[in-house]
Amino acid sequence: MIFPETTTVTTSYTTYDSPLGELLLVGEESATAAGGTALTALALALPQQRGVTVQPHWRRDPAPFGEVVRQLSAYFAGKLTRFELEFRTNGSEFQERVWQALEAIPYGTTTSYGRLADVLGVARSEVRALGAAIGANPLLIVRPCHRVIGADGTMRGYAAGVEAKIALLTHEGALQPTLI
């Protein structure tokens, strides 16, 4: 009996100190990505950040994330408004469609869940499913789910916390800083 050859993909991770706190970067080998790694997750390295947990078989290695770190640093320095990174995510067909639509929301702007539903052709009765897909986005910041807010301007949930969402929107100029 002949067994098919299996391919093992190396998953690497590292952390990055950002103005929001420590970010966890996770990626898989890719022959076409800058640095040889396609980004699979970017999350706040906090216990409350759901969905991203370092696995025992992952390799801690900052080297493959040089381009990701460069772009994140430029973003937080106010010099980058659009990320040019290779992503590799494993959502449902619906989730992937929603996550790709997030990339079209321009820097410094916001949209509502309802407007995003209209763009995607999602029935108003399915806006909760849209919200769930946005909430499951594994690539915070680089796929800007923080730019989706309530129709009344309220800050709805954000996987990294509403405070982080407000900080990102203020950084991008979509919200005015508050004086306290």
Tens-digit pLDDT profile for residues 83-116: 999 999 999 999 999 999 999 999 999 999 999 9
Q: Residue with structure tokens 């801690």?
A: 60
Q: Is 13 helix (H, G, I), strand (E, B) or coil?
A: strand
| Distance separating alpha carbons of residues 45 and 49, to the nearest angstrom | 7
DSSP 90-159: ---HHHHHHHHHHTTS-TT--EEHHHHHHHHT--GGGHHHHHHHHHT-SBTTTS-GGGEE-TTS-----T
Q: What is the pLDDT of residue 163?
A: 92
Q: Output 38 or 159, whichever has higher pLDDT.
A: 38
| Distance separating alpha carbons of residues 167 and 163, to the nearest angstrom | 6
Q: What is the pLDDT of residue 69?
A: 97
Question: Which sign does the torsion angle of CA 29, 34, 40, 45 carry?
Answer: positive
Q: What is the pLDDT of residue 47?
A: 58
Phi, psi dihedral angles at 6 (to 5 degrees)? -100, 145
Q: What is the pLDDT of residue 6?
A: 54
Q: Which two tokens stand for residue 64?
A: 């493959």
In the predicted model, is pLDDT for residue 45 greater than 60? Answer: yes
Contacts of 6 (CB under 8 A, 6+ apart): none
Q: Is 133 a catalytic residue?
A: no
Comparing CA positions, the residue from 103, 74, 75 lying closest to residue 173 is: 75
pLDDT category at 156 given cuts 50, 70, 90 is confident
Taking CA atoms, 40 is separated from 11, 24, 92, 161, 170, in Å, by 9, 11, 15, 20, 26
In the predicted model, is pLDDT for residue 180 greater than 90? Answer: no
In the predicted model, is pLDDT for residue 5 greater than 60? Answer: no
Active-site residue identified among 25, 145, 164, 174: 145
**pTM value surpassing 0.85:** yes
Q: Output 124 or 67, whichever has higher pLDDT.
A: 67
Q: What is the DSSP letter of 173?
A: T
